[in-house]
A and B are shown apart, each in its own frame.
Chain A
Amino acid sequence: MINIDVNGASRQVNIEPDTPLLWVLRDMIGLTGTKFGCGIAQCGACTVHVNGTAMRSCSVPIGTLDGAKIVTIEGLSPDNNHPVQRAWIEEGVPQCGYCQSGQIMAVVTFLKKYSKPTDADIDANITNICRCGTYEALRRAIHRAADMMQT
């Protein structure tokens, strides 16, 4: 039995320990906002926060997470008002939207480290794939979120 905290609620998970966190979240806990894109930590659609760090949950075995605090897109803010979410809405980032939970979760921890990011900082750190190619709006939204968090 593995004990984790997901979005503030404690969960006991009884599953093979090599099961990736992604599938525990989606199939066992029912939090489907975190998406499956590649299964090999390439695309970032499955990004969640594990003890405050952005991780690609498709490649994190649940067996390594006993006692961990997990935050998913559903737990990022109570009413979709995290500055990154607000910036995403104001810049109109999503198209198909499938990768955007992962993008947002990646950007949230990125902005904790880079509070005034340059484009080069963004290029080096935000590596999630978006097949709709929302990068233009996404870059604007990162800068906007950073500005919001300054004020």
Chain B
Amino acid sequence: MRGIRIPSTVNRRDFILTAVSVAGGMMIGIGAAPGSADAAAISTQPWNDNEYAPHELDAWIAIDPDDSVLIRYQRSEMGQGSMTALPMMITEELQCDWSKVRIEYASSNRSVREHRVYGNMYSHGSMSVRESQKMVQQVGASARERIIAAAAARWHVPASECAAAQSVVTHRLSGRTLRYGELAAEAAKVKLAKEPTIKTPAQFTFLPRRIPRLDLVHKTDGSAKFGIDAQVPGMVFASISACPVPGGKLKSVDESVLSGTPGIVGVVKLEDAVAVVATDSFWRAKRALSRLQPEWDVGAAGDVDSEQLSKEFRAALRDRMVLARNDGDVDKAMSGARKTFEAIYETPYLSHTPMEPLNATVNLQPDRLDVWVGTQDAEAALRAAAKASGLKPEQVYIHNAFLGGGFGRRDGNDEILQAIAVARVVKRPVKLIWTREEDTRQDRFRPHAVVGFKAVTGSDGMPTAWSMRVVTSSIFNSVGIPFPPGKAEPPAVDGLESIGYNVPNTRVELHIRNTHLPVWFYRAPGANQHTFAIESFLDEIASARGIDPYQMRRKLLAGKTDWLKVLDTAAEKGDWGKPLPKGSGRGIAICTFTDSLCAQVAEVTVKPNGEVKVNRITVALDTRHMVNPQTVTEQAESAVIFGLSAALYGKITIKAGAVVQGNFDTYRMVRLAEAPRIDVHLVPSGGDVWGGAGEPAVPPVAPAVTNAIFAVTGKRVRTLPIVDTDLSRAT
């Protein structure tokens, strides 16, 4: 392994964060990816404090005289691997030597000042690759053509006689060569008459390629810097408690109990929260905060509890709905049917619970604001911070870090706005950290949802018509995304509206019921709960009509080769139909999400006392194309565990308007001992679109497991989490 340490050269302003090494002092570690001498490099501190580099071709790419290539990455690395994948795509077009590539975050400040030169900077919706694939390929292709043009000009030959590979331009006729580093300065001045056409996947020479993620090494020695690791000279620490009932206000707090406590900088009262600020350690602030007994004005929301919400949501199944999808004529197809299948499925609020609790470190000065944070959207964070501070966007610098998980939570900016509000009062740099309890309870939650199904089958047992009525809360409303009334917002119906089954009469309807709880995007929004509902309900029909659930799905997907490929792969690799010991069974489920397809087979044992052990999950995933199959596989494994925690245990309960669960003792996660064996099979089908990798393997987990539970016990789990259903049986 290659590993060098170089002294930092950044010292522009005194608040530049110091990365304290073991020996002390300011060092930035640059390491290469493991096990190969030809890997690109990434810094332990991913944010850039200098948004301009010498030898830039443009805002994305700089090439130094020694041929080293700096590539800027405009999204956020939270474990999904796109900090490796997107530069790989640029490298594919740039035809540069991957071992000479260095990657750092693009500056949202620069993007704001330069007409959004980096485009969308957010990492959600599995967008990093699938949305910016064309853009980053174009960036790489344009740079390559400008370098070739510079070489052609130097040689006085047509560019068409030149070719680029491995950071060298060759004049094919004469065999002359020039290195990229020799051409970069001239290439920077080249303006292309016409943008080059980007490569099709069939023309790729570098991709797809299995490459260990470039942040890997830094994440094994403690050197990778997360937002919570920011250290700013003179900073103080803040612990905060927002009103336990979302939407409530701070009425009063008696801070006299803290008088005489050493190291307390102050108590900061915000409209809906109270914070304690202390010197030396976060612990001091946290302990002092726990001694305060704030009084809150919670209003009517203080009477809300989960049972009541469940009743209201179920009752609303009879309310007026808006149409999300309407194929054929469901009412006509159902009229006169001898037997209908009906069931109601319910999924609870969930908290995102990234391992790194939300936090932000800010330095607010009269003419400049610096924020060190792990954010899923550095541009939105910048704009929100500018608004909150009253500064111009170009005066705000977001130093994005590695994210200790995100799952959709790290783009609400709550922690940033709080830290700014606190800094404004204490007039010092502030690091504000949420406790785990705060992180769980002050989440913007995965919505609660109820789905009511009705279906009829034909003489062959196959469903001929089905109706799906959804009651849930509006994520768009919580986020503030305008959406026309009378239409069904996609995240509220995703997983139902998007099903691929050929049922001639299909109707999906939505009734929005908002509560005082803010709801938000959560890994595979909509589909993460509705796939459980539809894939379980379909299983009910199959079982009632005596049809194998896999075969029923095959028939309903007839002619859809890509769907059948993932379904068949999961079934075959997951040993569908092969014998299992008594007490064990298999379940199958499939979904589409972010233009990808995913099918899973779960193998489950249910003990007589009802305890569930998920032994094995077989995943077939079609992301259409792939940049780095290794990180795609990792994402599938990750999604399975994420979905399994939610399926088995995940539930946020509301009592007196507040969240009951707080820490991992009450909001349980799957640990190693409960983790099934996971076999991932990648079956990319190609075509025009690129699918997402981070989310599509979440939705099928819950129904694959509950369908397997049914196969063992004959008990149908219609409400998540699974742990709430008594699965014990007489032996």
Task: Report B313 CB to chain A, min CB distance, Å.
Answer: 28
A38 near B226 with CB under 8 A, answer no
Expressed in whole angstroms, the Cα–Cα distance for A24 and B283 within the complex equals 9
Expressed in whole angstroms, the Cα–Cα distance for A15 and B285 within the complex equals 13
Task: Report B218 CB to chain A, min CB distance, Å.
Answer: 8
Question: Within residues 152 to 202 of chain B, which ones have a CB less than 8 A from any CB in chain A?
Answer: none
A136 near B677 with CB under 8 A, answer yes
Known: A27-B280, A36-B433, A135-B641. A42 touches B219 (CB 8 A): no
A131 near B353 with CB under 8 A, answer yes
Residue of B nearest to A75 (CB): B22
Judged by a CB distance under 8 angstroms, whether A63 is at the interface is no
Question: Within residues 33 to 63 of chain A, which ones have a CB less than 8 A from any CB in chain B?
Answer: 33-40, 42-43, 45
Residues of B within 8 A of A73 (CB): 221-222
Expressed in whole angstroms, the Cα–Cα distance for A31 and B221 within the complex equals 11
Judged by a CB distance under 8 angstroms, whether B216 is at the interface is yes
Partner of A135, one of B355, B665, B672: B672
Expressed in whole angstroms, the Cα–Cα distance for A39 and B437 within the complex equals 9
Expressed in whole angstroms, the Cα–Cα distance for A10 and B616 within the complex equals 48
Judged by a CB distance under 8 angstroms, whether B326 is at the interface is no
Judged by a CB distance under 8 angstroms, whether A16 is at the interface is yes
A96 near B220 with CB under 8 A, answer no
Interface centre among B1, B213, B407, B436 (most CB of A within 10 A): B436
A35 near B355 with CB under 8 A, answer yes
Judged by a CB distance under 8 angstroms, whether A74 is at the interface is yes
Question: Within residues 248 to 288 of chain B, which ones have a CB less than 8 A from any CB in chain A?
Answer: 262, 280-284, 286-287
Task: Report B228 CB to chain A, min CB distance, Å.
Answer: 7
Residue of A nearest to B677 (CB): A136
Known: A39-B435, A42-B665, A104-B220. A95 touches B81 (CB 8 A): yes
A96 near B672 with CB under 8 A, answer no
Chain B window 645-672, contacts with chain A (Cβ cutoff 8 Å), 1 for yes, 0 for no = 1000000000000000001110001111
B675 near A135 with CB under 8 A, answer yes
Partner of A32, one of B222, B286, B678: B222
Residues of A within 8 A of B20 (CB): 30-32
Residues of A within 8 A of B3 (CB): 79-80
B222 near A72 with CB under 8 A, answer yes
Residues of B within 8 A of A26 (CB): 229, 281-282
Judged by a CB distance under 8 angstroms, whether B91 is at the interface is no
Judged by a CB distance under 8 angstroms, whether B403 is at the interface is yes
B672 near A127 with CB under 8 A, answer yes
Task: Report B257 CB to chain A, min CB distance, Å.
Answer: 16
Expressed in whole angstroms, the Cα–Cα distance for A148 and B3 within the complex equals 21
B281 near A27 with CB under 8 A, answer yes
Residues of B within 8 A of A96 (CB): 78-79, 354-356, 402-406
Judged by a CB distance under 8 angstroms, whether B357 is at the interface is yes
Task: Report B182 CB to chain A, min CB distance, Å.
Answer: 34
Chain A window 95-115, contacts with chain B (Cβ cutoff 8 Å), 1 for yes, 0 for no = 111111100100000000000
Residue of A nearest to B402 (CB): A97
Report, as a range, how many residues of chain B touch the other chain: 35 or more
Expressed in whole angstroms, the Cα–Cα distance for A127 and B640 within the complex equals 18
Residues of B within 8 A of A122 (CB): 672
A133 near B405 with CB under 8 A, answer no
Stretch at the interface among B132-140, B304-312, B585-593, B630-638: B630-638
Judged by a CB distance under 8 angstroms, whether B225 is at the interface is yes
Residue of B nearest to A61 (CB): B283
Question: Within residues 4 to 44 of chain B, which ones have a CB less than 8 A from any CB in chain A?
Answer: 20-22, 24, 34-35
Judged by a CB distance under 8 angstroms, whether B224 is at the interface is yes
Judged by a CB distance under 8 angstroms, whether B418 is at the interface is no
Question: Within residues 330 to 369 of chain B, which ones have a CB less than 8 A from any CB in chain A?
Answer: 353-357
Judged by a CB distance under 8 angstroms, whether A28 is at the interface is yes
Known: A27-B281, A42-B665, A79-B3. A133 touches B221 (CB 8 A): no
Judged by a CB distance under 8 angstroms, whether A67 is at the interface is no
Question: Within residues 216 to 250 of chain B, which ones have a CB less than 8 A from any CB in chain A?
Answer: 216-226, 228-229, 231, 237
B220 near A35 with CB under 8 A, answer no
Judged by a CB distance under 8 angstroms, whether B212 is at the interface is yes
A27 near B355 with CB under 8 A, answer no
B642 near A133 with CB under 8 A, answer yes
Judged by a CB distance under 8 angstroms, whether A66 is at the interface is no
Residues of B within 8 A of A137 (CB): 634, 637
Residues of A within 8 A of B403 (CB): 96
Residues of B within 8 A of A134 (CB): 634, 637-638
B212 near A33 with CB under 8 A, answer no
Residue of A nearest to B407 (CB): A131
Partner of B79, one of A22, A75, A95, A126: A95
Expressed in whole angstroms, the Cα–Cα distance for A133 and B676 within the complex equals 11
Known: A24-B281, A133-B675, A134-B637. A35 touches B356 (CB 8 A): yes
Residues of B within 8 A of A126 (CB): 672
Judged by a CB distance under 8 angstroms, whether A116 is at the interface is no
Task: Report A2 CB to chain B, min CB distance, Å.
Answer: 14
Residues of B within 8 A of A40 (CB): 436, 663-665
Judged by a CB distance under 8 angstroms, whether A139 is at the interface is yes
B280 near A28 with CB under 8 A, answer yes
Known: A92-B634, A129-B671. A74 touches B222 (CB 8 A): yes
Residue of B nearest to A141 (CB): B220
Expressed in whole angstroms, the Cα–Cα distance for A27 and B678 within the complex equals 39
Known: A73-B222, A96-B404, A104-B220. A43 touches B433 (CB 8 A): no
Judged by a CB distance under 8 angstroms, whether A19 is at the interface is yes
Residues of A within 8 A of B280 (CB): 15, 27-28
Task: Report A26 CB to chain B, min CB distance, Å.
Answer: 8
B78 near A39 with CB under 8 A, answer no
Residues of A within 8 A of B730 (CB): none
Judged by a CB distance under 8 angstroms, whether B472 is at the interface is no
Residues of B within 8 A of A35 (CB): 226, 228, 355-356, 404
Partner of A23, one of B223, B229, B283, B671: B283
B671 near A89 with CB under 8 A, answer no
Interface centre among A7, A15, A43, A96 (most CB of B within 10 A): A96
Known: A122-B672, A133-B642. A32 touches B229 (CB 8 A): yes
Residue of A nearest to B219 (CB): A97
Expressed in whole angstroms, the Cα–Cα distance for A131 and B642 within the complex equals 7
Partner of B222, one of A42, A79, A90, A101: A101
A42 near B663 with CB under 8 A, answer yes
Judged by a CB distance under 8 angstroms, whether B618 is at the interface is no
B281 near A139 with CB under 8 A, answer no
B80 near A89 with CB under 8 A, answer no
Question: Within residues 347 to 398 of chain B, which ones have a CB less than 8 A from any CB in chain A?
Answer: 353-357
Residues of B within 8 A of A128 (CB): 671-672
Task: Report B131 CB to chain A, min CB distance, Å.
Answer: 21
Residues of B within 8 A of A100 (CB): 219-220
A127 near B355 with CB under 8 A, answer no
Question: Within residues 76 to 101 of chain B, which ones have a CB less than 8 A from any CB in chain A?
Answer: 78-81
Residue of B nearest to A8 (CB): B22
Judged by a CB distance under 8 angstroms, whether B544 is at the interface is no
Task: Report A139 CB to chain B, min CB distance, Å.
Answer: 7
Interface centre among B24, B231, B402, B673 (most CB of A within 10 A): B673
Judged by a CB distance under 8 angstroms, whether A70 is at the interface is no
Chain B window 516-527, contacts with chain A (Cβ cutoff 8 Å), 1 for yes, 0 for no = 000000000000
Judged by a CB distance under 8 angstroms, whether B603 is at the interface is no
Task: Report B1 CB to chain A, min CB distance, Å.
Answer: 7
Expressed in whole angstroms, the Cα–Cα distance for A80 and B25 within the complex equals 19
Residues of B within 8 A of A15 (CB): 280-281, 284
Partner of B220, one of A19, A38, A45, A94: A94
Closest 6 CB pairs of A and B: A33-B222, A133-B641, A97-B219, A98-B404, A96-B79, A95-B79
A-B residue pairs in contact (CB < 8 Å), sample of 8 = A19-B283, A32-B226, A39-B435, A40-B663, A85-B220, A96-B356, A127-B672, A135-B675
Give me 11 other A-B pairs in contact (C-beta within 8 A), A40-B665, A96-B356 excluded: A27-B237, A76-B221, A93-B220, A94-B216, A94-B219, A96-B402, A98-B405, A100-B219, A132-B79, A134-B637, A139-B675
